[in-house]
Structure formats: C-alpha cells, structure tokens
Structure 1
Amino acid sequence: MAELLDEGPFYHGTKADLRAGDHLTAGFRSNYRPEVVMNHIYFTALPDGAGLAAELAAGDAAPRVYLVEPTGEFENDPNVTDKKFPGNPTRSYRSAEPIRIVSEMLDWTRLTPEALQGWRDRLAAMGDDAEIIN
C-alpha cells in the first residue's frame, strides 16, 4: 500500500456545476492552458487553494469549490512541490484516478477583484513559459 500523503479533507475548485456523486476524471483540457489535455485531476487540502483555482478557471460561470474524495492513489503535485515551494506547503495533489464530489462548499473565501487581477497578470506574464508537468 502506498504511503498516505495527507488525510484531507480535500477540495477542488472549478467553474463546473457539479453534484454530489459526480466524478472528475483526467483527459480534459487544462483550465489554464487549453491546448494541454490533462493526465491528472488536481486537488488540495486547503479550501483557499481550491478557491484560487476556481477563480482562475476559464469561463464565465461562477467559481465553485467542492469537497472531494480521491478514489485511488494520488501524489504530490509536481507543478508546485519542490519546483516552486520546498516540500508541499500548499498541500496540492494530483491523481490519474477519478475524484468523487462529496458536496459543494459555500463558505470559502473569495478573492478581491484586485487580488484576482494580480494572479491573472502573473499567469499572463509567464505566458508559454508556464510549463505544466502533466
């Protein structure tokens, strides 16, 4: 059995309207780089991290944060772990296996318009140099 990385709870941020029992699966386009088809589903143990992901996701729908459960093994997200932050202080993970929606979280902290624009500006500045380890 694999070493348990984190006991959770876990969260996923998106603009998709999902229901309890739905499964998120790999094989869809990245919310941040639409030319990239993702081999993993990403999630975090920090509600505010999922909120940031929801706010930055493509589309005009309302951002949503869901409580999720991995259905299989998962690993540290190499896009942030040791590449940007030593260890895994963001408690960010990914799995090639589906994650199951448990419920929608309604009490997460929204970014101010200024903070959201700051994040968008940082992502835009990275441009095509923003490699996704997929």
Structure 2
Amino acid sequence: MNKSDTSHHDERIANMSFASVYPHYVTKVEKKGRTQEELHEVIEWLTGYDAHKLKEIIEQKTNFKAFFENANLNENAHLIKGVICGYRVEEIANNTTRQCRYLDKLVDELAKGKKMEKILRQA
C-alpha cells in the first residue's frame, strides 16, 4: 500500500466530530505543561476559528469534513511537514485527512515543547 494512501480511513476521519477529539488534544498538551489557551492559539492559526467559534463547533458536534470546509485555512499550512500516525503529512492526498493531520502535527509540536513561533511557522 502506498504510504500516502489514506483512503481506507478518509471517510472515518471526515465523519468524526471535532468534539470527540478535542478533549484528547487538551489532555495531551496539558500533560506536557502547555495550556488550553496555547492549544486555541494553534487551532486559530490553522483554521481561523477563535475560542467562541470553537465552543460552537464543539456544541454542534461538527465533523472534521465540515470543520475544515468552513475553516479559513492558514496560507502557511502547507509548511507543516513530517510524519504523523505513520504518514508523511505533505503526501496525504485527501484534503480533509491531510488537514486533520496538520492539526495533529501542530498539537504534537505544542506537546513536545516547541516554541510557538516555530509551531506557527513564523521562523
């Protein structure tokens, strides 16, 4: 199987609600000494969603497909590279899956203690 072929789980990811994954993001970063505010900063950088909009998305149990279709994806999102869940992010063909992995990668970097300007691709 091609390492950039995520077709076997694209639909599952697209239909998963952001609300079901969000608490795991919070736990992951807080366990490593980062804050929910920093997590929100990272999510807002990637998607344009502020804390108020995120709350709405969580309450509505918006799935990842709609989450990313309605997002204002950062123009530097393509700079997010590397391996997440065994896949090279920049090689994932499906848009929703790739964007979801962008978010996973940013959360990982935050949890690993990377400087915010590096995470937000400003350096």
TM-score, structure 1 normalization: 0.27
Larger RCO of the pair (alpha carbons < 8 Å, separation 6+): 2
Which protein is richer in strand relative to its size? 1
**Which is greater in Rg?**
1
Which protein is richer in helix relative to its size? 2
